[in-house]
Amino acid sequence: AQSVAQPEDQVNVAEGNPLTVKCTYSVSGNPYLFWYVQYPNRGLQFLLKYITGDNLVKGSYGFEAEFNKSQTSFHLKKPSALVSDSALYFCAVRDEGGATNKLIFGTGTLLAVQP
């Protein structure tokens, strides 16, 4: 069964420094991968997706993600972190087995950006 793993519960970075939030995936076919962000007591906001094409995907709020098939990874990146980026980040993969756009989420990574 397909899955995603987020190996870090928390990532700490200083404002202005580059950030990376890691995600690895396990699928049998071609992956449809997503990143979402969740602010306290809010729902999930879509950041970006990879379906096919360029391995570097650009998304909202200056975020980008790099798809690496050989390493089965889809890490989220941003060149310069902002304090306002502090939030919970989820990686997700679209379920291959069903006929729907069901997503399977990772456990989330809390990003803390210090001023």
Partner 1 sequence: DAGVTQSPTHLIKTRGQQVTLRCSPKSGHDTVSWYQQALGQGPQFIFQYYEEEERQRGNFPDRFSGHQFPNYSSELNVNALLLGDSALYLCASSFADSSPLHFGNGTRLTVT
* Sites of contact with partner 1 (CB under 8 A): 32, 34, 36, 41-46, 49, 51, 90, 92, 94-95, 98-108
Contact 50, 33 (CB under 8 A): yes
Backbone dihedral angles phi then psi of residue 113, each to the nearest 5 degrees = -105, 120
User: What is the maximal distance between C-alpha atoms in the chain?
Assistant: 45
Closer to partner 1 by Cβ: residue 20 or 105: 105
Q: How far is the CB of 88 from partner 1 (least distance, A)?
A: 9
What minimum distance in Å lies between the beta carbon of 113 and partner 1?
20
Residues in a beta bridge with 73? 24, 68
Q: CB 66 → partner 1: shortest distance, Å?
A: 18
Comparing CB distances to partner 1, the nearer of 11 and 92 is 92
Q: Measured from the CB of residue 14, what is the shortest distance to partner 1 in angstroms?
A: 25
Token pair recorded at residue 67? 């798809």
Residue among 40, 16, 48, 57 at smallest CA distance from 110: 40
17 vs 100: CA distance, rounded Å = 39
| Closer residue to partner 1 (CB): 18 or 61 | 61
67 or 90: CB nearest partner 1: 90
